[in-house]
Structure 1
Amino acid sequence: MASQPDGNTVFMTEQEAERIRNMVKNRSKKCSELTGNAREPKDLTGAKQQATGASLMVDMGAPDADLAQTKGQGGSFPVLPVGQPYPPCIVPLQGLQPIKLTDLKMNTHHRGHYLTIKRISPVVTLLARSWAMVQDEEEETERLEIYLHKLRHGKDVLESTSHFIIKEPHFTLTDQGEATIRIDHPSDLIIRDEASNNQIHDAEVVEKAARKCKDKGNAALEKQNLPLAHAEYTKGLKLAIQDIVTKSNPDLARDLARNRAHVNLLLSQLDEAKSDAKSSLTSREDQQSKELDSKAYFRAGSAAYNLGQYQEAKSLFEQQLKLTPDNKTAIAYLRNIEVRLREQETGEYNFKKIRTGLSRSRPRVDAASFIRNTKVKEIPGRGRGLVATRDIPIGEIVMCEKAFCVVWGHEKEALTAMTYDIRDDRIRVSPVGLNKAIVQKLLNNPSQTEKVMDLFGDYQGEGNNVTRTEDGPVVDTFRVHDIMSRNAFGPGNQYGEEGLSNASTGLWVHAAYINHSCIANAKKEYIGDLMVLRAIRPITPSEEIFHSYDESSDYDARQAALMNTWGFECDCALCTVEKTDDPVLRKKRRDLANDAEEFVGTENWSNAKRLTISKAKRLVRDIENTYDEEKYKGLPRMAAQRIQEWLALANQKSKK
């Protein structure tokens, strides 16, 4: 396992690692052997008792079956097998045929079909999955499991209701070898509306039903039950947009859309918030209509602003001010938008003000991304990379990027897991909390899916670009996992203690195209979730941008981390030379570097005495002696860098 920058490492016994491998391989083997076999019926009473008993055990604090027993500062982690991906269903429900539980075949994706079921047991909520017993319309019983992506707006999906439709059900085995219907993609599970689907042709009846949904939505909103409010407004809208209602009461649909826009903003469903707000506009000239349209423009503008669509947001808030000229909130937004547009165009940031506004409770920056100095380009032998579009002097900003998604270590969404990838037989520490957060953000805002899915990942899916069907957004969670694994970075410990089990991790989409080199020409730092990349030597137009993915001074540790986390071996000029060094010499250099690191950590340069400075000089000399002068000509001596920086500061202090 690659150690993290803070030095925390998971210590796993060979026996535990082998147990994980065997568990996954045995399941895979058994699934292959059972492929196509008929489903064996479950006993209703026994199934319900199993779920009830397991739920009670969880409530009583029984050990989580998902957790691996690991030692060290990292604690225990859920174990998640990866490496057997399959695509989500991209066919609308109306294009699928019904199937019954009795028709299910083992280890089969039932393409072209859907299954209607209801939950009949308590939900067993484990850290990385939830499961319950379900029945179909013929009262057959089966186990249903949602894997990892089991929450929607902070609530367990299985507990949110009891009636579901599963698109193209995947019938397989659990990691413990029990038959189950398994959901990996949230878009494959549809919450079933139990309201009558019969078309009603009485305008008065339909309008009354829509108004009732509006009232229920308002009541839920008042109680801050946002998912319920959204569901009620959505049901009301489906009724209110029918011709028989819009002819007699066109404003009812507008009212429902305006209300749902407000709820969508609170749920961070920005695409729909903007669409709803725009569709609610009346464009009438009476004062009441102007005030309602002002609300709509505000909600659409807020959604556009939070999506980073600053020009559109500016236009929407300007429209609001035409209707309500003294609106202070709109004026404040327009001032902020001018700052965002300036940041976007010039790369000029008030970093002092940005830092001042950050805290543990407000860890995310309100800033635009500046990427005009760079562009994505195909690099021979390395895939896509980022190149400069102009001369960038040393110390100048190459780019600044607001994170697409960050999960901070102190937030409840933080979750680290041990993943075993059957494709390369490697066990890794993975920030699956970030995976979950990215999937949720894409479900909330399908317009953002394309730019994330364009990033490199080992699993490429089936090449389709479907991000939405009539049933809602579609997200391939396996692709998200692989993209996150190859492109995520840690913004460091900015808001309090964190370790391997709760390390902060984020995804920066534009920066993800930057390739690695141990001899980088740019260096990154983080201000909240804003990545700031500066040139550490002059960069010329069309020159590729590099930063270091791993800054370990030890060749072996660096190569192991790069291979384990990002899947490649570095062949930069420095690594090519270091590789030729005798392993004994590399160990000596590593030991000296550790001594230097300990020295820097315990000796404060500002209080350094002559004797301490002399000791530092000896350490630098000893490390330098491990480098062959001719071989390393023009190359950095990474093992000596930290103590050289310490020595430079101490010498500067002593001269004053």
Structure 2
Amino acid sequence: MANTIFLTEQEAERIRKTVKERSKKCSEQTGHEREPRDKTAAHQQATGAALMADMGGVPDPDMTQTKGRGDTIPVVAVGQPYPPCAVSLEDLQPMKFADLRMETHHRGRKLTVKRLSPVVTLVARSWTMVQDEKEEEAERLEICLHKSKHNEDILESAKFFIIKEPYFTLTDQGEATLRVDHPSDLIICQEEAHGTIPGDDAAAAEKLATRYKAQGNTALKQQDLPLAHAKYTEGLKIAEQDVLGNPNPDLARDISRNRAYVNLLLNQLDEVVTDARASFTSRDDQRSKELDSKAYYRAGSAAYNQGRYQEAKRFFEEQQKLTPDDKDAKTQIKKVASRLRERETGTYDLVKIRSGLSRARPRIDAASFIKNTEIRDSPGRGRGLYATRSITAGEIVMCEKAFCVVWSHESEALTAMTYDVRDDKIRVSPVGLSKSIVQKLLSNPSQVESVMHLFGDYQGDGRNVSATEDGAVVDVFRVHDIMSRNAFGPGDQYEDEGARNASTGLWIHAAYINHSCIANAKKEYIGDLMILRATRSIKSGEEIFHSYDESKDYDARQTALMTTWGFQCSCALCTAETEDGQAIRDKRMELVGEADAFIEKTPWAGAKRLAIRKAQRLAQSIEDTYDGERYRELPRTAGERIQEWLAKASPRK
């Protein structure tokens, strides 16, 4: 019961009412002109709210009371999606506060703002007051859910922002606000502009770029990685300019090499390879070889971390050519060889992998083995996973490293109640996983397509733009729906897991496996490695199934499948149980309850004959609820536990 979140009927109704009333107010005000704010009052409002939020003095409006443990949990409304801006800043037209219209997505426009007040940081959103470029007017700006980057609140990370295609709407409390749902719609601006370089002064340009490089180095030493990245980026913009036809390529290479290292630490792996390539000198002197060796190592590490092992191998081999005595290159080449072997053969040292797991290191270093499977159309189910060769019972079908996983003990773990206006249902949702997936995609645009190709209820606007000149474009609403239909829990491997902080992850290839209550494969987890084994022989070309929900209760199972994954199962077992009728199913589950209670209080070891006879009667009573003809070739799952008890308790002959 500790792992269950209870919501009172009053709270559920309050959530529905709040969302519906906001929607109605927004609809009524669509297109209305913005009402100006008083700057002083706006500043005071945000300052007071920020102080009270830090002190815990004012209830978070996003939180709702739950029963059982008496605490609260955030509420997020879903099902009202809109696409992110898919246009570069240079192609957007500037606008002013006076141009804002209520409940409007200002397509084709951009709005430059400066933070006016402290940031109010809440669980599911952050907000602040901002002013226009002329510092004449003020307005509220909020970021919903996806409000941090590299563990720093986005609104606190800078003073200046550009909002792409601003969405002007109302809060749940009826206050006007600029609302940002897609992080890619908010561009962070550096306060110190590099546009002051004398256009004909190469020495001044080089001096300024060198200063940015030094500032980046200082920030790196202080482990302020976002700031180091920003300073290196500014320095590169200048160092790469051809001032009077006399650029300083070595300075640009040095900054690119340094930024590659910072990007590696920030897990911005796409940029690592780009920066490393830009830093190559290709010269034969020893110092240049050592510098290029560093760049190759960083590029190889990035490719390795993205599972691009052949590419990583080439980078590390080039590193070794330049610095043959480098131990890091030798170590990495050996690791790559192990990953390639795992990927090709599906052979893993599972004992070693298990022994290396801990709360501090919950993710394993292993490759995905998927070559025995392929994605194909599945009649009536969309797409599915099929065997490319015959697989025997007990054999590994596939192993896959999680694309993204959030463990229960990690700070990223966040559970929310989501109210979906599309079906009027309130669900428990691991929104912390959604946030982590979005952050990973923002850092690595090359991976956007593979995630967005998965099934989700919301399909977006069909443009499927994954990046512009401003960076990655990620539709957070699509990510939420994809996560909701495709994520799984790897189990409580590191303890302290409950409904409020359940471990969840996304395995992209495994997401194509369809459900059946009569599965031919079963999954298990070692860390973030999903291992799928055949439970019976699978023929080449046969579709692979595993069970999304293994409840013995037909009604509970169907409810869970519909609520979480959005479908009703019609496999042969479910068809037979449907034909049984409600009375038979209820009788069967009543007997299962008796059998489970018996098992809990009666150890099989040393069981007396009287106990064994009682177990036999229970097992037979459960068996009698099954129609012999209808279940001739179907599993009779309700009696499995009591049958297992009997197999252990009965005297061996």
What TM-score range do you get, normalising by the shorter chain? over 0.9
Structure 1 position 75, deviation (Å): 4.5
Give, as a single letter, the amino acid of the residue that structure 2 aligns with 1:142.
E
Structure 1 counterpart SS, 2:426: strand
Larger deviation, residues 302-311 vs 627-636: 627-636
Match in the other structure for 1:3: none
1:555-598 residue CA offsets vs partner (Å, 9 max, x unmatched):
11000000000000111111111112232322222232233334
1:402 aligns with 2:397: no
**Residue of 104, 108, 118 corresponding to 1:108:** 104
Distance 1:646 1:361, change over 3 A: farther
Distance 2:642 2:438 in 1: 43
Distance 2:342 2:604 in 1: 37
Match in the other structure for 2:348: 349
Match in the other structure for 1:180: 177
TM-score (norm 2): 0.97
Match in the other structure for 1:392: 391
Structure 1 counterpart SS, 2:531: strand
1:275 aligns with 2:274: yes
1:21 aligns with 2:16: yes
**Residue of 89, 97, 120 corresponding to 1:93:** 89
1:243-262 residue CA offsets vs partner (Å, 9 max, x unmatched):
12883521101100100011
1:197 aligns with 2:195: yes
Whether the aligned pair in 1 keeps the contact of 2:241 and 2:247 (CA below 8 Å) is: no
Distance 2:244 2:557 in 1: 66
Give, as a single letter, the amino acid of the residue that structure 2 aligns with 1:513.
Y
Give, as a single letter, the amino acid of the residue that structure 2 aligns with 1:162.
K
Structure 1 position 333, deviation (Å): 1.0
Distance 2:245 2:538 in 1: 61
1:70 aligns with 2:54: no
Alignment of 1:214-233 (within 5 A): 214-233=213-232
Distance 1:541 1:7 in 2: 44
Distance 1:607 1:273 in 2: 63
Structure 1 counterpart SS, 2:633: coil
Distance 2:145 2:529 in 1: 28
Structure 2 counterpart SS, 1:655: coil
Match in the other structure for 2:27: 32
Whether the aligned pair in 2 keeps the contact of 1:102 and 1:140 (CA below 8 Å) is: no
Structure 1 position 608, deviation (Å): 4.3
Give, as a single letter, the amino acid of the residue that structure 1 aligns with 2:114.
K
Match in the other structure for 2:165: 168
Structure 1 position 415, deviation (Å): 0.3
Give, as a single letter, the amino acid of the residue that structure 2 aligns with 1:365.
I
Distance 1:417 1:227, change over 3 A: same
Structure 1 position 199, deviation (Å): 5.8
**Residue of 40, 48, 54 corresponding to 1:53:** 48
1:451-478 residue CA offsets vs partner (Å, 9 max, x unmatched):
0000000000011121111111110000
Structure 1 position 617, deviation (Å): 2.6
1:82-140 residue CA offsets vs partner (Å, 9 max, x unmatched):
00100000110010111111110000000000001011111110000000011112421
1:379-430 residue CA offsets vs partner (Å, 9 max, x unmatched):
1211101111010000001110000000000100000000010011111100
1:12 aligns with 2:7: yes
Distance 1:124 1:600 in 2: 53
Larger deviation, residues 599-608 vs 435-444: 599-608
Structure 1 counterpart SS, 2:580: coil
Structure 2 counterpart SS, 1:580: helix
Match in the other structure for 1:124: 120
Whether the aligned pair in 2 keeps the contact of 1:10 and 1:74 (CA below 8 Å) is: no
Distance 1:228 1:632, change over 3 A: same
Whether the aligned pair in 2 keeps the contact of 1:515 and 1:547 (CA below 8 Å) is: yes
Distance 2:452 2:47 in 1: 40
Distance 1:642 1:86, change over 3 A: same
Structure 1 position 64, deviation (Å): 1.8
Give, as a single letter, the amino acid of the residue that structure 2 aligns with 1:263.
V
Give, as a single letter, the amino acid of the residue that structure 2 aligns with 1:24.
V
Structure 1 counterpart SS, 2:177: strand
Larger deviation, residues 620-629 vs 176-185: 620-629
1:511 aligns with 2:493: no
Whether the aligned pair in 1 keeps the contact of 2:373 and 2:385 (CA below 8 Å) is: yes
Match in the other structure for 1:41: 36
Structure 2 counterpart SS, 1:423: coil
Distance 2:533 2:523 in 1: 6
Match in the other structure for 2:486: 487
Distance 2:366 2:139 in 1: 49
Distance 1:52 1:621, change over 3 A: same
Distance 2:69 2:518 in 1: 32
Distance 2:548 2:581 in 1: 25
In structure 1, the gaps of 5 or more residues are 1-5
Match in the other structure for 2:564: 565
In structure 2, the gaps of 5 or more residues are none
Distance 1:212 1:246 in 2: 21
Aligned residues with identical type, % of pairs: 68
Give, as a single letter, the amino acid of the residue that structure 1 aligns with 2:72.
S
Distance 1:574 1:161, change over 3 A: same
Whether the aligned pair in 1 keeps the contact of 2:114 and 2:161 (CA below 8 Å) is: yes
Whether the aligned pair in 1 keeps the contact of 2:110 and 2:164 (CA below 8 Å) is: yes
Distance 1:336 1:587, change over 3 A: same
Structure 1 position 44, deviation (Å): 1.5
Distance 1:514 1:30 in 2: 42
Distance 2:404 2:116 in 1: 36
Structure 1 position 610, deviation (Å): 4.2
Whether the aligned pair in 1 keeps the contact of 2:276 and 2:295 (CA below 8 Å) is: yes
Distance 1:47 1:203 in 2: 45
Structure 1 position 76, deviation (Å): 2.3
Structure 1 position 486, deviation (Å): 0.4
Whether the aligned pair in 2 keeps the contact of 1:105 and 1:171 (CA below 8 Å) is: yes
1:138-181 residue CA offsets vs partner (Å, 9 max, x unmatched):
42111000000000000000011111100000000112211100
Distance 1:74 1:371 in 2: 45
Alignment of 1:322-333 (within 5 A): 322-333=321-332
Distance 1:438 1:296 in 2: 28
Distance 1:490 1:74, change over 3 A: farther
Alignment of 1:66-465 (within 5 A): 66-72=62-68, 75-138=71-134, 139-194=136-191, 195-198=193-196, 200-201=198-199, 202-244=201-243, 247-465=246-464
Distance 2:475 2:245 in 1: 37
Distance 1:447 1:245 in 2: 36
Match in the other structure for 2:635: 636
Give, as a single letter, the amino acid of the residue that structure 1 aligns with 2:31.
G
1:310-341 residue CA offsets vs partner (Å, 9 max, x unmatched):
00001110111111111111111111111110
1:232-280 residue CA offsets vs partner (Å, 9 max, x unmatched):
0111111111112883521101100100011111111111011111211
Distance 1:600 1:218 in 2: 64
Whether the aligned pair in 2 keeps the contact of 1:9 and 1:73 (CA below 8 Å) is: no
Structure 1 position 187, deviation (Å): 0.5
Q: What RMSD over aligned residues (CA atoms) do the two structures have, in Å?
A: 1.6
Structure 1 counterpart SS, 2:360: coil
Give, as a single letter, the amino acid of the residue that structure 2 aligns with 1:286.
D
Larger deviation, residues 49-58 vs 509-518: 49-58
Whether the aligned pair in 1 keeps the contact of 2:313 and 2:336 (CA below 8 Å) is: yes
Distance 1:285 1:70, change over 3 A: same
Alignment of 1:523-534 (within 5 A): 523-534=522-533
Aligned length: 649
Match in the other structure for 1:551: 550
Structure 1 counterpart SS, 2:428: strand
